Structure 1
Amino acid sequence: MMSFSILEFIVVGLAVFRLTHLFVYDTIMEPIRRHFIAEKKEVNERGETVWIYVSKGTGVRKFVGELMSCHWCFSVWMAAGLMAGIFLMPLVFMTVSYVLAFAAMGALIEELVMTFFVN
């Protein structure tokens, strides 16, 4: 049975957050997302531009597209994959988790600074 300290739990949680954001929202992963989902720009009733995500294809392609269009859904699979990796190769996947957690903290701090201290 594997157990986590509070620190490891937080690190893995931040890593899942960062991985999910990377695949679902970040521009660098757009070429991969493009195979599974179509991104359509629409204007809502308040005149704001919003993005609508529609999964492509059928079968596995459609399934992955539906996952990638929902950060709540995709994060479950990111967590499961990360946990499987930690179970199989703990040193490698915990190292990757720390890197992703540091990146997540940097992104969250940047958002806080931009929200409360700029403008």
Structure 2
Amino acid sequence: MITISTFEFILLCLATFRFTRLIVFDSITIFLRKPFHEMIEETDEEGQVATYLHIKGDGLKYWIGELLSCYWCVGVWVSIFIVILYLNFPSIVGGVVLIFAIAGVASIIEMIVSRLVD
């Protein structure tokens, strides 16, 4: 049986949250999504611009595009990746997990503050 502390569990959750958002939403990783996604802008009669995600290709390319557009799907794979690495190489991966966990908390705080200010 695998045993981790509550603190480690929380760190892994926060690191998974941040790393998943990095892959699915952040502009710094657009190069990962660009081969599979196209953003289409349409202007309606009132001049409002709406942006839509179009997934490119078919077969495997379409499947990867679908995966990269699904926060929940990427989250599952990221959590598998992080947990396996953490359990096998805790001294190496622990620092990275801590950094992503801290960044995850910072992004949650930023979302809360942004909503309160708006």
TM (norm. structure 2) is 0.83
Post-superposition CA distance 1:57-97 (Å, at most 9, x none): 34433222111111011101111111121132122222211
Other-structure match for 2:57: 57
Structure 2 residue runs without a partner (length 5+) = none
**Whose relative contact order is higher, 1 or 2, with alpha carbons under 8 Å and at least 6 apart?**
2
Aligned 1:101-112 pairs, distance under 5 A? 101-112=101-112
Question: What is the Cα-based RMSD across aligned positions, in Å?
Answer: 2.2
Aligned 1:1-119 pairs, distance under 5 A? 1-42=1-42, 49-116=49-116, 118-119=117-118
CA contact (8 A) 1:35 1:56 kept: yes
* Residue identity matched to 1:53: L
Paired residues in the alignment total 117
> C-alpha distance in 2, partners of 1:26/1:37?
14
> C-alpha distance in 1, partners of 2:51/2:10?
31
Structure 1 residue runs without a partner (length 5+) = none
How far did 1:18 drift? 0.4
Runs of 4+ in 1 over 4 A off after TM superposition: 47-50
Larger radius of gyration: 2
Structure 2 CA distance for partners of 1:84 and 1:55, relative to 1, 3 Å: farther
